[in-house]
Amino acid sequence: MEKEEIIIKISKLKQNSIILAHNYQNPEIQDISDYNGDSLQLARIAAELKTYRIIFCGVHFMAESAKILSPEKEVLIPRYDAGCQLADMITLEELKDFKKDYPDAAVVTYVNSSAEIKAESDICCTSSNAVQVVNSLKNKRILFIPDKNLGNYVKSKITDKEIIPWKGYCPTHQKITLADILAARRKYPDAKVMVHPECTMEVINEADFVLSTGGMLKLAKGSEHKEFIIGTEKGMTYRLSKDNPGKLFHDLSPKPVCREMKKIKLVDVLNAFEKNQYRIEVDEEISRKAKKALDAMLDIKQDKN
Ligand code: SF4
């Protein structure tokens, strides 16, 4: 079936549904969605929407978070196998053992995690509010789950708490190296460098700005600068260029492509509508506990970045 034909079919079937798409999705998915955003923005939108059915174009934990926040809604993910390699880097047993080693610590869990890991946590965070979330806690010791890079970034910003990151990492962002950033600066000497906090500290330390994808969009829009080098998943430069005609966005490296985020194609979205697949279901007890951790995060007032 031709691309245009699929898009027409989707728009006919779409009534009473909303398509949400993460900023790392394929361009054609971003183009047919009702809302684009980072994981915090999409979680908030999913919770506030009055629509009964949400088609979530992202990876599994994101659609799961939408279902946890809105259990009364039907949440579909067009590819059930679109997972997150970072989320898979800690098991429930490992988290329970980690907690036993530090009984006085609060557990802060990045939303890139499964529902059962969230359910075992005190509070969730995203890449845009991680520092704020950790600062909001009274505990002096924090177990930061599962991303060591985001954990180390938070650690660099907070000196009055002991932050102990888990050993996980995002393989997509881990591919960006210091050599990449130095080469990109030489190639585009007038450009400002924005990187995601899932990058390693040596990359973060060399950047001009460290931001979530939502933060990158906001900064690019409001900035007087006209040229940027972008250090995150490749889908982001499409979104930035689309939203900011007249400004230039270069990939810091061609390497960071998230194979999971790129799994969803237009035909999968059409199949989601036609076959009502794949429904996200979360165990009631796990959902209740995970919602507590997500709500605790959503109750914190957002930074202005
Ligand atoms: S880019 Fe990394 S953290 Fe994001 S979905 Fe892909 S593997 Fe997970």
User: CATH homologous superfamily of domain 87-169+287-298?
Assistant: NadA-like (3.40.50.10800)
Query: Do the domains 176-251 and 3-84+261-282 match in fold?
Result: yes
CA of 224 relative to ligand 1 center, distance in Å:
30
Q: Is the CB of 82 under 6 A from ligand 1?
A: no
Q: Ligand 1: which of 64, 77, 112 to mutate, most ligand atoms within 8 Å of CB?
A: 112
pLDDT at 305 over 50: no
Facing residues of 17 across strands? 53
Please give the DSSP secondary-structure letter assigned to residue 157. H
pLDDT in tens, 73-94: 999 999 999 999 999 999 999 9
Question: Which distant-in-sequence residues (6+ apart) come within 8 Å of 229 by Cβ?
Answer: 181, 184, 185, 188, 191, 192, 193, 194, 249, 250, 251, 252
pLDDT in tens, 130-169: 999 999 999 999 999 999 999 999 999 999 999 999 999 9
pLDDT at 40 over 90: no
pLDDT > 70 in the chain, percent: 98
Q: Is the CB of 200 under 6 A from ligand 1?
A: no
Q: Is the CB of 261 under 6 A from ligand 1?
A: yes
C-alpha Rg value of the chain to the nearest Å = 19
**Residue nearest atom 8 of ligand 1, based on CA coordinates:** 84
Q: Is the CB of 264 under 6 A from ligand 1?
A: no
For 58, the 3-state DSSP assignment is coil
pLDDT in tens, 246-304: 999 999 999 999 999 999 999 999 999 999 999 999 999 999 999 999 999 988 875 54
Q: How many Cβ atoms are within 10 Å of 299's Cβ, its own excluded?
A: 9
pLDDT of residue 86: 98
Q: Is the CB of 191 under 6 A from ligand 1?
A: no
pLDDT at 225 over 80: yes
Q: Is the CB of 86 under 6 A from ligand 1?
A: yes
Q: Is the CB of 233 under 6 A from ligand 1?
A: yes
CA of 262 relative to ligand 1 center, distance in Å:
10
Q: Which CATH number fits domain 176-251: 3.40.50.10800, 3.40.50.300, 3.40.640.10, 3.30.465.10?
A: 3.40.50.10800
Q: Please give the structure tokens belonging to residue 242.
A: 């689309």
pLDDT > 90 in the chain, percent: 89
pLDDT of residue 304: 43
Q: Ligand 1: which of 24, 57, 59, 200 to mutate, most ligand atoms within 8 Å of CB?
A: 59
Q: Is the CB of 111 under 6 A from ligand 1?
A: no
pLDDT of residue 16: 84
Torsions phi, psi for 244 (to 5 deg): -130, 70
**Residue nearest atom 6 of ligand 1, based on CA coordinates:** 258
Whole-model pTM? 0.94
pLDDT of residue 38: 85
Enumerate the domain spans of the chain. 3-84+261-282, 87-169+287-298, 176-251
Nearest ligand 1 atom to alpha carbon 258: 6
pLDDT of residue 302: 59
pLDDT at 65 over 80: yes
Q: How many Cβ atoms are within 10 Å of 147's Cβ, its own excluded?
A: 29
What mean pLDDT value characterizes the chain?
Answer: 95
The structural architecture, per CATH, of the domain 3-84+261-282 is 3-Layer(aba) Sandwich (3.40)
For residues 90 and 145, the answer to whether their CB atoms sit within 8 Å is yes
Q: By CB neighbour count within 10 A (0-12 exposed, 13-18 middle, 19+ buried), where does 98 fall?
A: middle
CA of 58 relative to ligand 1 center, distance in Å:
10
Q: Is the CB of 38 under 6 A from ligand 1?
A: no
